Amino acid sequence: MRSITYSPAYTIVPTYECFNRCTYCNFRVDRDEWLSLSKAEKTLKQLQSQNVIEILVLSGEVHPQSSRRAAWFDRIFDLCELALSMGFLPHTNAGILSFDEMSKLKTVNVSMGLMLEQMTFLEEVHRHAPSKIPEVRSQQLTWSGELQIPFTTGLLLGIGESERDRIDTLEKIAQIHDRFGHIQEVILQPYSPGHKDSLSQAAFSPQQLIELIKIARQTLPKSISIQIPPNLVSNDLIACLEAGATDLGGISPHDEVNPDYPHPKASELEKFLRPHGFDLVQRLPVYPQYDCWLSNRLRSAVQRYRTAGLATPKNSVTC
């Protein structure tokens, strides 16, 4: 049996507002009431008995020059602190952050993430999305390496890029990882039409995805997991795994980025995968080889799960 990993997760959203206006987005709103700590605490209490380990703090972006930026960042930090204090392991993806903001969030996150998307600026879909400038996003990958933050990044596929663009983006990720060794996973996320986006084009071809997985496996170091979202590739999941994908990401009740495509339950995935020779295995949002990068507090939180034998794949490499 070949092991395929996933993280038992739940997503909390500080705010859906975002100063970017990407034409493929099914997430953002113009102005949003921010998630309160009291409401988040109520939700987290309910999750304590539901086999949830990772809390993904996924936020829209407040402009770096906005007078509300500091309050936005504090809310994200406080939500991570709350989740950590209640026994969960936070992982934040909040878009473009400054070096100092990343450094502060490192103290309350076991890992972080940011989609690189593409290393070519796509004028049609990103013309009203200032933080999607490729050089700005790749800078985040470099900073996360300098700060020794275990990191997840990825490509968004089928938004107007060429095959060469995809390969260049994979090569850029590999290049940055070669310097710092900090990238845990690369997500290959196919564009899937939703009810709110305005891109008006077909979903990314499953055959193209399968071929790109093979290219990614040849381009990226073997230590980097190739992640695919099972709710977006349901009809081609086995073919994607056979092509070299190794991880299914955080599986939670609701996909906030692709709300039209519900996540399957882990129990359903397990039953589906086993006859095909795949064993579904829980993992933590930080891989064992990065435990030594964590503060004592975070390492203790992680170690409680490792000691209990939860979400730690067999033959894991420790630092």
Count up the domains in the chain and report the number: 1
Residue 314 placed within a domain: no
Residue 21 placed within a domain: yes
pLDDT > 90: percent of the chain? 90
Residue 103 placed within a domain: yes
Looking at residues 127-138, what average pLDDT do you find? 93
Q: How far apart are CA 249 and CA 266, in angstroms?
A: 11
Asked whether the predicted pLDDT for residue 316 surpasses 90, the reply is: no
Looking at residues 16-35, what average pLDDT do you find? 92
Provide the residue range defining the domain that includes 138.
2-307
Residue 124 has a pLDDT of 87
Asked whether the predicted pLDDT for residue 319 surpasses 80, the reply is: no
Q: How far apart are CA 240 and CA 304, in angstroms?
A: 33
- Alpha-helical regions (H) of the chain: 37-47, 69-85, 99-105, 123-126, 134-146, 163-180, 206-219, 237-243, 266-273, 296-307
Looking at residues 57-70, what average pLDDT do you find? 97
- Supply the mean pLDDT for the chain: 95
Predicted structure pTM score: 0.96
Residue 312 placed within a domain: no
Band of pLDDT at residue 195, cut at 50, 70 and 90: confident
Main-chain phi, psi angles of 24, to 5 degrees: -95, 0
Residue 254 has a pLDDT of 86
Band of pLDDT at residue 123, cut at 50, 70 and 90: confident
Q: How far apart are CA 152 and CA 173, in angstroms?
A: 10
Residue 202 has a pLDDT of 87
Looking at residues 139-152, what average pLDDT do you find? 98
Residue 313 has a pLDDT of 66
Give me the CATH number covering residue 286: 3.20.20.70
pLDDT tens sequence across 264-294: 999 999 999 999 999 999 999 999 999 999 9
Looking at residues 121-134, what average pLDDT do you find? 91
Q: How far apart are CA 182 and CA 293, in angstroms?
A: 10
Band of pLDDT at residue 237, cut at 50, 70 and 90: very high
Residue 315 has a pLDDT of 61
Looking at residues 6-17, what average pLDDT do you find? 97
Looking at residues 4-24, what average pLDDT do you find? 96
CA distances to 127, 268, 307 from 229, rounded to whole Å, are 26, 15, 29
Band of pLDDT at residue 314, cut at 50, 70 and 90: low
Please tell me what DSSP assigns to residue 195: S
Q: How far apart are CA 16 and CA 34, in angstroms?
A: 8
Residue 267 placed within a domain: yes
Residue 2 has a pLDDT of 95
Residue 201 has a pLDDT of 83
